[in-house]
A and B are shown apart, each in its own frame.
Chain A
């Protein structure tokens, strides 16, 4: 066993010890259990929140795309960095009000309630599962590559070990105090990523030096049309590349677990600011590192290994091994939460709904975990037989999501008479067209990015499908009008409303008005 493999095992043991120490500490009271410790400072909270999104994509996929296509790849970063702004400005206020009124905890539940259709929930669940599995397969491939680099084992064997570790960790890991392990992870990864970027920029003479060197190799690296001007004049490709991350996030099938703070939470606003700063900084780093790789590692065999090769080039072997261990652990922590989500959706929305309506709690847990095991086996077969690139898989996953959910979300708050047939048509046509567009590479013949193609088809599906459905119920139309507002609150007050106490506010409102009417009668 190589020394780097020993570093990896020691690293995992340290993570395990941190987790065990804090979970034992927490076991004496109700603190932290299932929620993690929320009494941390804003910077810690922000880093912790982000470490789960630091996945194989950031360390392998993003740099590889920039290495192969030059500055064109930065378009994906622009979409990523601007995503939250687009979400907030287009949908933010209205969708938040509507979710509150519908008492929806997840985006799919929101659509189900808005259109009073369980069909939407089922189609949404199936699309989410496709996305989750595609995304987690990308993590599996990344885990195989990271382990291969660390241990020197053949890719296939490294992949099987990596996926086995992930699956075992996901079904038997209990609940470690993930906040602290995530924080530790995030620190190692941020230092590593920023360290590689700074060292890389110093080596190539800053951004100007980087561009000058790229121009010497091939001027088309500097173009937004891609290397060799591959996408020249194809605005459909450029727009699609920017849009995919800016709106793909809206379809993420996460579920908010309601929680109640037992003490003052004055750090929330600052945490959001830290997250925003962090997002802006980290959105572009992988691509810049990929560009640096073109100059410093022109003969690298696998572009997805740019980060690990640069780590070994710039830093002592030990540090590079620690960074790679952190990447592997990040892949594990991203994969486990995705696998858990996929297992939950499959067992609740598919198994319990269609196969065994009266399934008890133990059976539900068992089905959920067995589906995780199955995903692991399929993932290994896919990753060995025909491994796609990490980047391609992640873009495919986000594209499917965005094409399925973007049109339904916008219509839910801007089109009063949109109905469930329209929404189902938009979801199905959007996702299917994205899958076909990618599989048969229609981008090459049409000059339109699969995401933009899927979006156009989804809009058509919505408009045509809506003609065949019945109008929404009076109750929903009433909520639609209420969500439109305007509330009469000043902007800054409106911005910081806590939606989670909306049920309480409703009850208090009824209580206060009944109290007032009693007092006025007296």
Chain B
């Protein structure tokens, strides 16, 4: 068992089955397992962002620990600690320093294309935290076919495997 920083599950097994049933009633759903996927969360203080908005603001982004891709966060995450069997935890391949480099380049791209500024604001890293997002593995079995999905247990977004 390993204690990891993670997020609360919004889509528990029953809610998940119910949501899929509503979407496609003729399929049998079997929730198989819960996998913990690694990310690195970065919080930055952004200084001097334009003439009108001179106050320092904060921004956050995550780096996908497997694919090294950045993503802006929409709200400040709330983490909890949980003990998980190691066989359900994916091991990240990006290291902390590499993640900071990717995060800063990603934030530059985002600020540069979205903010009304004449000069690039200075970014100051305030915290970096590793966390694991839970993803369900769901098997669907219809009359003729069967398929696998992975479902983000926090947002309910899904994608076929």
Write the residues of chain A forming the contact surface with B, with a CB cutoff of 8 angstroms. 16, 20, 23-24, 26-35, 37-39, 169-176, 255, 257-266, 336, 340-341, 344, 361-362, 364-366, 368-369, 487-493, 496-509, 511-512, 515
Contact = CB atoms under 8 A, between A and B. Distances in A.
Interface of B: 7, 10-11, 20, 23-24, 26-27, 35, 37, 39, 43, 46, 49-60, 62, 64, 66-67, 69-78, 87, 90, 108, 110-120, 135, 137, 140, 142, 145-147, 149-150, 152, 154-161
Contacts of B156: 264-266
Contacts of B118: 171-172, 365-366, 369
Contact of A260 (B57, B74, B90): B74
7 contacts: A28-B58, A29-B58, A34-B72, A34-B111, A493-B27, A493-B147, A503-B67
Contacts of A490: 24, 26-27, 140, 142
A258 B37 contact: no
Given A260-B71, A362-B119, A487-B160, A23 B57 contact: yes
B23 to A, nearest CB: 5
A262 B76 contact: yes
Given A27-B58, A173-B116, A492-B23, A505 B49 contact: no
A340 B26 CA distance: 48
Contacts of B111: 34
A504 B135 contact: yes
Contact of B37 (A29, A172, A262, A508): A508
A259 B158 contact: no
A4 to B, nearest CB: 25
Given A34-B72, A262-B73, A498-B159, A504 B67 contact: yes
Contacts of A366: 118-119
Nearest to B33: A512
Contacts of A491: 24
Contact of B46 (A33, A364, A369, A509): A33
Query: 4 tightest CB-CB pairs across the interface, nearest first?
Result: A174-B50, A174-B53, A30-B60, A173-B116
A32 B161 CA distance: 31
Given A488-B145, A493-B20, A512-B161, A171 B116 contact: yes
Contacts of B39: 260
B10 A31 contact: no
B59 A30 contact: yes
Nearest to B108: A361
